[in-house]
Structure 1
Amino acid sequence: MRTDKRVVIISGGSRGLGQALVQDRLDAGDIVATFSRSSNSFIDQLRSADPEGARFHWEAIDGTDLDGVRTFGMNVLRRYKRIDALINNAGVGLEGLLTMTSERDIHLALTLNLESAIVLARTCLKGMLAERRGSIINISSVNALRGHKGLAVYSATKAALLGLTRSLASEVGPQGITVNAIAPGFFESEMVGHLTDAQRARIIRRTPMRAMCTTQDIVDTARFLLSTRAITGQTLAVDGGFSC
C-alpha cells in the first residue's frame, strides 16, 4: 500500500518509553511500525483496532536477531512504500563490575544496544535516501555522558550511539536526513522501580531541577526532533540537569 502519511519505525515499542513513543506517533496521525520479542495487551489492542495494518504494524522479533531486524525494516518499506522516521529505542540495561560481567551478557548488550540500531538505520536509509528526506533518533543515555561505577559496558554501547549519530548526520545530511540522539537521565519508569527511597532521594538531590524527568519529557523531545530539519548531529540530554 502506498500512503501519504508519515511512516515511523520505533524499535522496542511494546512497553515503557517505546510504548509511549508508539502512542504519541499514532495520536499524531502517523503510521507506526514496531517490533518486540512478544506481544502484550498494548500491542494486542492496537492490532485488534487495525486488523488490516493500515496504520499499525507489529512483528515478533528479538532485537538480537540482526537478520530479523533487517527483514522487519524491509517488510515495512515494501508494505508502505516509504520510511520517514526511525527511533532506535530497543535496548537492554546491564549493570555490574566489568570483571564480574559474563562475555555472554557483554555480547547481548553490544548486539541489542548498538548493532541492531546500526542494522535498522542502514535498512531504513534505503527508503529515506530514495525520498531525500527523513529523521533518525537514537535513544542513548546520560551514562554515555558521565561515568558511573558498574555501568562500563552499558555506557560503552550508549556512547557508541553518539558517535554513530554524529558521523551519520554528516554522511546523510546532504540528502535531507537528520540524525540526532536523546540521552535520558533517570526518569519515572519501571527501570527505576528497583531504587530505594534513599537512592531516589540522592538522585533528586544531584539533579538541578530537583525532580526526575518523566517519560512524557522524552516523548516531547522526540516529537520536537521529528519536527525540525535545522538540528542534526546533536545529543539532547533530558535529565533535569543531572549531567551538568
Structure 2
Amino acid sequence: MTENPDTSGTTAEKTAGEGRVAVVSGGSRGLGRVLVERLLADGWHVATFSRSASDFVTEAMAAHPGSFHWEAVDLGEPETARTFVRNVHRVFGRLDLLVNNAGIVREELLFTMPPKAIESLITANLVAPIMLTQACARVMTRQGGGAIVNISSINAVRGYRGVSVYAAAKAGLDGFTRSLARELGGHGIRVNSVVPGYFDSAMTAEMPAASRARIERRTPLGRLAAADDVADAVLYLSSPRAEFVTGQSMVIDGGLTC
C-alpha cells in the first residue's frame, strides 16, 4: 500500500513518539501543558502530575482516555515519586522519557528569606527532580534505555538579584545532568537539560512593560521566547535526532546570555 505524502513533518518526526511513554512533571499549565500537548500530538502516551487538576487536565483526560494519565501528586515526600512511577508503568508498561519541568520561583533577597522558604525552593527545584529521576531511571535501565530532560534556567548561568536560592537549585540541576549522563550512558539513557531564558508565560505576563522592553532590547533576537521555542528543544533532545547528545545544557534565550 502506498502511503499518503505527509507535509507536516518527516516520517521520523511523525513516528518518533508512536507507542512511547513520557512523564512530564507539572503538566497542568504553562510550559508543562505545552509539552504535554506537543507530545500527545506526536503520538506519545503521556503521564503527568500536579498538586491539583486544571481545566486542561480534565479536557485532556476526556480527549485522550487511552494515552493520557494524570495524578494529584506533591513531590514533597520521596515515596510519592516512586508510587507515581509505579502507577505509570502499570498503566502503560514502559517509560521512555522524563521531563523534569515542575518547579517554583520566589524572588526575595537571601537575608530576608525564611528558612522554610529556602528549604521549599531547594526541595521543589532540585530534590524532587532528583527523586523522580531516580525512580524513572530504574525503569529505563531495566528496559534498556530512555531520555531525561531537565528544565533549568538562565539563572543557573548568570547572576540575578533576588533569586540566589532558586539559582542555586537550578545550577545544581545542571550539575546533576552532567554527572548523571556519565552514570547512565552505559545503560542507553541520555540526560540533558534545557535552559530557558524569559519566555511568554503567566509570570512574564505580569512583568511591567518597561522591564519586558528592556529584556527585549538586550536580547539579540529581539523578543521573549514562546513556550513552543522551549518545547522544540525538549522534543529535539527526546528524539532519535539527538541520539548522540548527552550531558549537555541547551540554552534557549535568544542570545541574552551570550
TM class by shorter-chain length? over 0.9
State percent identity of aligned pairs: 45
Q: C-alpha displacement at 1:34, in angstroms?
A: 0.2
Count of residue pairs the alignment pairs up: 239
For 1:76, what is the secondary structure of its paired residue?
helix
The CA distance in 1 between the partners of 2:166 and 2:26, in whole Å, is: 17
For 1:39, what is the secondary structure of its paired residue?
coil
Could you list the runs of 5+ residues in structure 1 that have no partner in the other structure? none
Aligned residue among 24, 27, 46 for 1:10: 24
The CA distance in 2 between the partners of 1:134 and 1:218, in whole Å, is: 20
Q: Contact 1:63 / 1:90 at 8 angstroms: preserved in 2?
A: no
Give the aligned partner of residue 118 of structure 1.
130
Aligned residue among 53, 77, 87 for 1:65: 77
The CA distance in 2 between the partners of 1:191 and 1:73, in whole Å, is: 29
1:33-56 per-position Cα deviation (integer Å, ceiling 9, x unaligned): 0000101110001112344xx201
Answering whether residue 53 of structure 2 is matched by residue 39 of structure 1, we say yes
Q: Contact 1:7 / 1:33 at 8 angstroms: preserved in 2?
A: yes
User: 1:15-34 maps to which residues of 2 (within 5 A)?
Assistant: 15-34=29-48
1:58-114 per-position Cα deviation (integer Å, ceiling 9, x unaligned): 000123233222210121122222110000000000211000111111111111111
Give the aligned partner of residue 90 of structure 1.
102
Query: Quick one: which amino acid aligns to residue 204 of structure 2?
Result: V
The CA distance in 1 between the partners of 2:37 and 2:79, in whole Å, is: 27
Give the aligned partner of residue 116 of structure 2.
104
The CA distance in 2 between the partners of 1:69 and 1:172, in whole Å, is: 19
TM-score, structure 1 as length reference: 0.95
User: 1:94-243 maps to which residues of 2 (within 5 A)?
Assistant: 94-227=106-239, 228-243=242-257
Q: Contact 1:182 / 1:237 at 8 angstroms: preserved in 2?
A: yes
The CA distance in 2 between the partners of 1:65 and 1:22, in whole Å, is: 24
Q: C-alpha displacement at 1:195, in angstroms?
A: 1.1
Tell me which moved more, 59-68 or 166-175.
59-68
The CA distance in 2 between the partners of 1:216 and 1:65, in whole Å, is: 31
Could you list the runs of 5+ residues in structure 2 that have no partner in the other structure? 1-17
Query: Quick one: which amino acid aligns to residue 147 of structure 2?
Result: S
1:198-229 per-position Cα deviation (integer Å, ceiling 9, x unaligned): 10011111111111111010011111101121
Which segments of structure 1 move beyond 3 Å, counting only runs of 4 or more? Answer: none
1:130-187 per-position Cα deviation (integer Å, ceiling 9, x unaligned): 1221000000000001001111000000000001000000111111110000000001
For 1:174, what is the secondary structure of its paired residue?
helix
